[in-house]
Amino acid sequence: PAEAAEGVFFRPPPFRGAHDLPATYEEASSRLQYVALNTLGVDAGNPLFGHVSAIFSGSYWQDAIAASPIDTGMYTFCCNKTYRRTPGSLKVPCKDLFRGLACSGKIAPGVFGAIDHAILNNHLFWGSWNRLGRWFERWLGDDPGNITVGESMSFLETNILGNILYEDRGIKMLVGAFSPMFGAPKGRQLREYASKHGIALAWSFGPGLVNTSDLRNRRALNFRPDVRLLDSTTVRGGLVNASAEGSALDALDDLWVQAEAARAGAAELVEARLAELWVAAKKALPLGLHLRTPAAWDCSDWHSCLGRSESGACVCYP
């Protein structure tokens, strides 16, 4: 499926290995990085793709972005009739997973300075949802309201045509989903990974889902995007220009221990209990560690800055 999508939209040299797979590491690393543009201003990544989101540097926009109007995998599975008729093609329940998808737009990618057609085609692909109106409501409305899990699939796919390097701060922040990861072994690994590579780490609540295996039946779940909370390891490590008293960071670490202990005694923590822990974490940390979802004109340096905090300051790398 990946080869079918990339070959149609971006036309890279074909893989030379068996079954349309790369024959070498160099071939694999020469392909694009799939990225979702956060057009709805959501605090968390789409739960369909996992529990960790990587926020990339805005510097790639100038010369390394090709923006598909919709998710290219979704287009391949649901709208590309040639692929759908191919023997052995992956069958996806599109009507159940992607309700509202009309397959009526054009898939031509956009680039920096020439992207309006991609935005308009996104609107056509999701015409029954009025994407343009919804985006402006989310960006500029006095009360942008809630969104649904299903609605969060309607992003532009702004792929990076290049390799993302740690030393260039290509990944400027990692965002872990609070409910499935805070106090969990994988959450600890995420903390260690972020610290090892000098990447700021934050937590988001999003829809508050613990288990995404039943996502098809929870598409209508609506939630109000919240702030992102900087992790205590990021602040203690001096990675960014945000600070807090040690007692506040200790309080967050105490909540981590509580979550860790609770997870050890249960196969899966109930979502209501995790919502309580999230509220406690927000109360424990000062507003300077509460990051808003980035908005236009918030900060002058989007390569170094993560966004504006609830205290009004831009949180940036030094």
Per-residue pLDDT tens digits for 116-159: 999 999 999 987 778 888 888 888 877 778 888 888 888 999 99
pLDDT beyond 80 at 220: no
- Take residue 188 and report the two structure tokens written for it: 């600890």
Residues 173 and 291: beta-carbon distance below 8 Å: no
Per-residue pLDDT tens digits for 155-176: 999 999 988 989 889 999 999 9
**Backbone phi, psi, residue 288, to 5°:** -65, -15
According to DSSP, residue 57 is labeled P
Let me know if 281 is exposed, middle or buried by CB neighbors in 10 A (0-12, 13-18, 19+): buried
Q: What is the mean pLDDT of residues 108-117?
A: 93
Distance CA 269, CA 195 (A): 26
pLDDT beyond 70 at 2: no
pLDDT of residue 104: 86
Per-residue pLDDT tens digits for 22-41: 899 888 888 889 999 998 99
Distance CA 105, CA 121 (A): 5
